[in-house]
Structure 1
Amino acid sequence: MKSTYLFVIAIGLVAGLFSCSNPSAKSGNYKTTLTFNPGEEQKIAEAFLSLKDSTEIVLTKGNYQFDNLSIAQVKHILIRGEGFDKTILDFKTQSSGGEGIRVTDVKGFSIDGMTIKDSKGDLLKINKSRDVVVTNLHAVWSQADSTSGGYAIYPVMCQNVLIENCYTEGSSDAGIYVGQTDSAIVRKCKAAKNVAGCEIENTSNAEVYDNEFYNNTAGFLIFDLPDLSKKGGHVKVYNNYIHDNNFRNFAKAGSFGTSWGVGNASPGSGIIILAASDIEIYNNRIINNNTSSITIASGFAVDDKAAEKINANYSPISKNVSIHDNQIEMGAAFPEPAYEHRIGKILIAVEQQLNASDPNRKNKRIPQIMYDGISSNILTKGTAVNPDNICIKQTGDNLFVNADFLNISNPKNWKPNTDMSPFICK
C-alpha cells in the first residue's frame, strides 16, 4: 500500500510539471531569441554549438538541409518551428554523426513545431538531460526498412520527460523510445510503420495515455533489459488505441536483432510486457493485433542465460502486472509476416497445440492474453500457481493462455492451457 501511495504522488508531481501551462515550452520566456531562415544552415549549426543559457531558436517555415545538429551542457533552451507541415529539417545527406539532432546534458530542453526526417542514425536523441518537452514534432523516415535509423524520438537517461502531440514513422527499432529515465509522460501521440510504435525501457514512473499506435510490428512495449543503468517499473498505460499492428519486422541485424532486441517482436503484437514490474494496463482499445493482443513474458523467453544477469537493476521475471477493463478484439487469422518470424512461429504453434488438445475449441484463435508461464518459481524452486501477482480482470471468451514456454522444446510435456483462474484479480 505504501509503494502504491508513493507512486501516485510521483505521477501527480510529473503531471503537474507537464501541465498545459508548462512555461519551459513557451515562446518569449527566454533571454535571447535567434531567428533563422532556410539557406542559413551553417549559421544554425554554429548557433547550436555555441548556445548560451536561456535561448530560443526559431526556424521559420521552409526546408532545411543538415548534416547533424548538436546541443550540450546548457540550460533553458527552446528549438521552435512554425509547425510540422511548415518547418522541415532534412538529414538525408548526413555524412557524419550518429543522430540528426543530439542533445546532451541540458536542463530544461524543449523542441516544438517541426518535422525532422531521414537521418542515418536516430533522429532526435536526448541524453542525460532533465525537464525535457517534445511537442508537435513529426520524426519520420521516408522508407520503413532496415536502412532507417533505430529511434525517432529517443530520450535516454533523462529525468522528467514529456512527449506530446508527436508522430513517428519508419523507425527500425522504436518510434517513441524512453529509456533508463525517471518520470515520463507520453500522450496524444501517433506512431505507425515502426518496428515498435512506442517503447518504455528500464524507465520508472511513466504514464502512456491518449495515444494511437497502429500499423507497426508491435504497438507498445514495456521492457526491462539487463546490463543497463537502472531498473524500470511503475508504468501506467491507459486510454490508448492500439490497433492493426501487423507490419513486418524490419529490425536491423546486430544490436537490433540480438536476443534482446525488438527483432523478437512478432508481427501482430499489440502490447508486449517483458521482464517488467509494477505495470497497469487498462481502459485501452486493443484491436486487430492478430498474433497476440497482450503478451506477458520473462527474460527467459528470449535469453536462456537470463538468470546469470540478475542484479539490483534487473530481474527477468515480470511481476505485479495488472490488466483490466480493456476492449480487446482479434482478427480471424495471423498476419502473413508472422509465419516468417521466429516468435511468430511459436505463437502460431501455441494456437495449433491448444486446438489440437481441446476439440471444444473448434479452431479458435490464440487467446487474447498470452503469458509465457515462466514465473519466479524457476528461481526459487517454488510451486505457487501465481507467485508474481499477475492480475487479470477482463470479460469475454478466449481471454488467456499460459503458453508453458518451459516445456515448449519437449512436445510430450508441452501443455499450454487456458485456465485463467489463478490469475483473476482477487
Structure 2
Amino acid sequence: MRMTCMTALALCAASPAYAATHEIAAGDGAGERLQEALILSEPGDEVVLGAGRFVLDDGLSLDVDNVTVRGAGMNATVLDFTGQKGAGEGLLVTSDKVTLRDFAVENPQGDGIKSKGADDIVYQRVRVTWTGGPKPTNGAYGIYPVESTGVLIAECEVSGASDAGIYVGQSRKITVRNSIARQNVAGIEIENSRDAIVERNMVTGNTGGILVFDLPNLPVMGGGNVLVRENLVSTNTTPNFAPKGNIVAGVPRGTGIMVMANEQVWVDNNTIVDNPTAAVMVVTYIKPFEDKRYNPYPREVVVADNQAYDNGQDPDLPGIAPVVQAFGGALPTLMWDGLQQDGDTPAVLASPEMPGWSLNLSKQGQSMAEAKPGPLSVPAYGQPWNMDGIGAPEELEARLVS
C-alpha cells in the first residue's frame, strides 16, 4: 500500500522525531560515557545500561524531558557509588516524564535517586542499597521524589537509608506499590503530600514501617487524602539509627504505621505483625513551631479493618512502663495520643474490630507520665470521603512493563 504524504506526517507526529538509543556498557570510563549520554539525550530517547557493575566516583544528573533510563535488571545492572567523591545524590533528575527502570544504585554518599520538580515520573524495579547495613552515615533517602505531580513507584526495593527508604514529599498524585522497604529508619514515608496510594508493599525490618506525616516550615503544606491499604508491615525492630536532629530520629523502634498531623488518611486491610511499640499510632506534632499555615493535629484518620497481632509487646517510648502495666503488659493495636483540633473534627475514626486506646493527653508536649490511658471512644468509620482521583495518573500506569 502506498503511503501518502499526510499519513507519513501523522506517523511522524505520533512518535518522537529522531528518537535514539544510547547503549552504555560497564567498564573503564563508563561513568563519563553515561553522564554524556544523559546530557546529549533528546526527548523520546532511551539510555540503556548493560549488565555489570558501573564503578562511579561522581553523581549523575538528568534534565531532559521524556527520557527512559533502563538497565538489565535491578540485580544485573549496578551503579556503584562506593567511591563517590562528595555527598551528593547518586542520580538527580530534574526533568518531566522520565522513566527509571531495572537497575540498582549502591552506596551513594547522599541520597540514592532524587527527583525534584520532576512531574510524571516512573520508578520501576529500581533498587537502592547501602550494602553495609543500617548506619547513621548512610544517605538519608533511597528513592526520593519531591515537589512533583504524578509519581509512580512500583516493584522497587530500598534498604539501609538513614531517614526513609521510599520517601515522597511535597507532591501530589502518588502511587507506591508492590515494593520492598527493609532496614531503613522509615520504610515508606509520605510527607506534606496529597492524593497518595500506598498499597501492596512489604515493609519489614525498619525502625518504623509506614509514616504519613505533615511538617511545618516547608514550601508545600497541607498533606492528606492518603490511602494505605493491603501492605504487609512486619517485624520493624531495627533500633533507630537516624542522625541526631532528624525528625525521624524520634520515631520509636517497632512502629508499624504512624500518622502525624495529617488529614483524611484511610488505613485499611493491612497485615501488621510483630511491631513491638504499636501496630498503628495516630499522633499530634509536639515540637514548637511558628508556621501559621500549619495544623499540628491529625484529622479524620480512619483505621478500618486491618489484621494486626503480636504488636506492642516491647514499646520503645520514654516513660511508657506505667502505661504498659495499665494495659496488661502490651500496648493495644491502635494508639492515639488523645489530642484533636476541636470537638467537631475527630482525630480518629476506627473499626470496632481494631482495639484502640487513647493516652488522653490534654496538651502538646506532655510526658507519658501524665497519660491517663483509657479505651478509645471515637466514632466508628463510615464511607470514606471522596477519594476519586487519588494515586498516579493512568498515563503513568501505561508506562509500566512486565
User: What interval of TM-score do these two structures reach, taking the shorter chain for normalisation?
Assistant: 0.7 to 0.9
More helix by share: 1
- 8 A contact 1:51–1:71 mirrored in 2: no
Query: Hey, what's the Cα distance between the residues in 1 that align with 2:151 and 2:17?
Result: 19
Q: What does residue 141 of structure 2 align with? A: 151
Deviation at 1:347, TM superposition (A): 4.0
Residue 99 of structure 2 aligns to which amino acid in structure 1? Answer: S
Residue 265 of structure 2 aligns to which amino acid in structure 1? Answer: I
1:115 matched to 2:80 = no
1:395 matched to 2:353 = yes
- 8 A contact 1:30–1:56 mirrored in 2: no
Query: Hey, what's the Cα distance between the residues in 2 that align with 1:293 and 1:30?
Result: 53
- 8 A contact 2:57–2:84 mirrored in 1: yes
One of 278, 281, 286 as aligned partner of 1:295 = 281
1:367 matched to 2:355 = no
Residue 40 of structure 2 aligns to which amino acid in structure 1? Answer: S
Query: Hey, what's the Cα distance between the residues in 2 that align with 1:349 and 1:167?
Result: 39
Seen in structure 2, the aligned counterparts of structure 1 residues 376 and 30 have a Cα distance that, compared at 3 Å, is: farther
Deviation at 1:47, TM superposition (A): 2.1
Seen in structure 2, the aligned counterparts of structure 1 residues 52 and 201 have a Cα distance that, compared at 3 Å, is: same
- 1:42 match: secondary structure: helix
Q: Counterparts of 1:268-417 in structure 2 under 5 Å?
A: 268-300=254-286, 303=287, 305-306=288-289, 308-311=290-293, 314-331=294-311, 333-334=313-314, 338=316, 344-352=317-325, 354-355=326-327, 363-377=328-342, 384=343, 387-395=345-353, 399-406=355-362, 408-409=366-367, 411=369, 414-417=371-374
Residue 259 of structure 2 aligns to which amino acid in structure 1? Answer: I
Residue 120 of structure 1 aligns to which amino acid in structure 2? Answer: Q
Q: TM-score, normalised by structure 1?
A: 0.81
Deviation at 1:351, TM superposition (A): 1.5
Deviation at 1:43, TM superposition (A): 1.2
Deviation at 1:309, TM superposition (A): 2.4
- 2:112 match: secondary structure: strand
Q: Counterparts of 1:12-161 in structure 2 under 5 Å?
A: 31-39=19-27, 40-104=30-94, 106-143=95-132, 144-161=134-151
Residue 155 of structure 2 aligns to which amino acid in structure 1? Answer: N
Query: Hey, what's the Cα distance between the residues in 1 that align with 2:18 and 2:198?
Result: 30
- 8 A contact 2:277–2:312 mirrored in 1: no
Query: Hey, what's the Cα distance between the residues in 2 that align with 1:415 and 1:126?
Result: 44
Seen in structure 2, the aligned counterparts of structure 1 residues 389 and 267 have a Cα distance that, compared at 3 Å, is: closer
Q: TM-score, normalised by structure 2?
A: 0.85
- 1:130 match: secondary structure: coil
Write out per-residue CA displacement over residues 362-413 of structure 1, whole angstroms, 9 at most, x where no aligned residue: x241111110111114xxxxxx3x73252100416xx2121133374495x6
Query: Hey, what's the Cα distance between the residues in 2 that align with 1:150 and 1:56?
Result: 29
Query: Hey, what's the Cα distance between the residues in 1 that align with 2:177 and 2:319?
Result: 33
Q: What does residue 177 of structure 1 align with? A: 167
- 1:387 match: secondary structure: coil
Deviation at 1:67, TM superposition (A): 2.5
Q: Which runs of no fewer than 5 residues in structure 2 stay unpaired?
A: 1-15, 383-402
Write out per-residue CA displacement over residues 9-33 of structure 1, whole angstroms, 9 at most, x where no aligned residue: xxxxxxxxxxxxxxxxxxx998111
Q: What does residue 188 of structure 1 align with? A: 178
Deviation at 1:107, TM superposition (A): 1.3
- 1:92 match: secondary structure: coil
Percent identity over paired residues: 31
Query: Hey, what's the Cα distance between the residues in 1 that align with 2:48 and 2:141?
Result: 24
One of 244, 248, 253 as aligned partner of 1:253 = 244
Seen in structure 2, the aligned counterparts of structure 1 residues 425 and 31 have a Cα distance that, compared at 3 Å, is: same
- 8 A contact 1:291–1:347 mirrored in 2: no
- 8 A contact 1:112–1:134 mirrored in 2: yes
Paired residues, number: 361
Seen in structure 2, the aligned counterparts of structure 1 residues 347 and 125 have a Cα distance that, compared at 3 Å, is: farther
Deviation at 1:320, TM superposition (A): 1.2
For the aligned residue pairs, the C-alpha RMSD in angstroms reads 2.0
Deviation at 1:252, TM superposition (A): 1.1
- 8 A contact 1:221–1:272 mirrored in 2: yes
Seen in structure 2, the aligned counterparts of structure 1 residues 295 and 49 have a Cα distance that, compared at 3 Å, is: same
Deviation at 1:51, TM superposition (A): 2.8
- 8 A contact 1:310–1:316 mirrored in 2: no
Residue 323 of structure 2 aligns to which amino acid in structure 1? Answer: V
- 2:303 match: secondary structure: strand
Seen in structure 2, the aligned counterparts of structure 1 residues 372 and 347 have a Cα distance that, compared at 3 Å, is: same
Query: Hey, what's the Cα distance between the residues in 1 that align with 2:312 and 2:101?
Result: 41
